[in-house]
A and B are shown apart, each in its own frame.
Chain A
Amino acid sequence: MLELNPKYLEFEGKAAFVVLSYPEFLRIQEQLMQLDDTQPSRPANDQETDAPAVLLAEARERYDPEISVRQAHSETEPLALDSDLAGSLEATAHQMHRSVNELVNEAVKQYLSARWREQLEQEIAAYAAMHSELWRTVPGVWVAVHNRTVVDRDSDKAALYRRVHNRFGKVPVLIRRVKAEPTEEIWVRTPSTGRLNP
Chain B
Amino acid sequence: MKYAYDPSYDPPAPSIEVWLAATERAFTVGPLRAFIDTGADATLAPARFIDQLGVDAFDIKRLRSQWREARFVKTYLVDIGIGNLRLPLVELVGDELSSELLLGRDVLNALRMTLDGPKQIVGVRE
List residues of chain A with CB under 8 Å of any chain B CB: 113, 116-117, 120-121, 124, 157-158, 161, 170, 172, 174-176, 183-191, 193-198
Contact = CB atoms under 8 A, between A and B. Distances in A.
Contact of B62 (A158, A185, A189, A191): A185
B84 interface: no
Give the size range of B's interface with the partner.
Answer: 35 or more
B89 A190 contact: no
6 contacts: A117-B60, A158-B89, A172-B57, A184-B62, A186-B93, A193-B100
B77 interface: yes
Nearest to A161: B89
Given A186-B93, A188-B44, A190-B40, A196 B62 contact: no
Interface of A, helix, strand, loop or mixed by DSSP = mixed
Interface of B: 8-11, 13, 23, 35, 37, 39-42, 44, 56-67, 70, 73-74, 77, 88-89, 93, 98-100, 102, 104
A176 B91 CA distance: 11
A183 B67 contact: no
B102 A188 contact: yes
A22 B100 CA distance: 34
B60 A195 contact: no
Contacts of B61: 183-186
Q: Give 8 closest A-B pairs by Cβ, nearest first.
A: A189-B39, A190-B39, A189-B66, A188-B40, A186-B42, A185-B62, A184-B61, A187-B41
Contacts of B65: 187-189, 191
A185 B66 CA distance: 12
A120 B74 CA distance: 10
Given A175-B58, A198-B98, A191 B63 contact: no
A187 B64 contact: yes
Contacts of B64: 185-188
A117 B74 contact: yes
B56 A172 contact: yes
B10 A196 contact: yes
A158 B74 contact: no
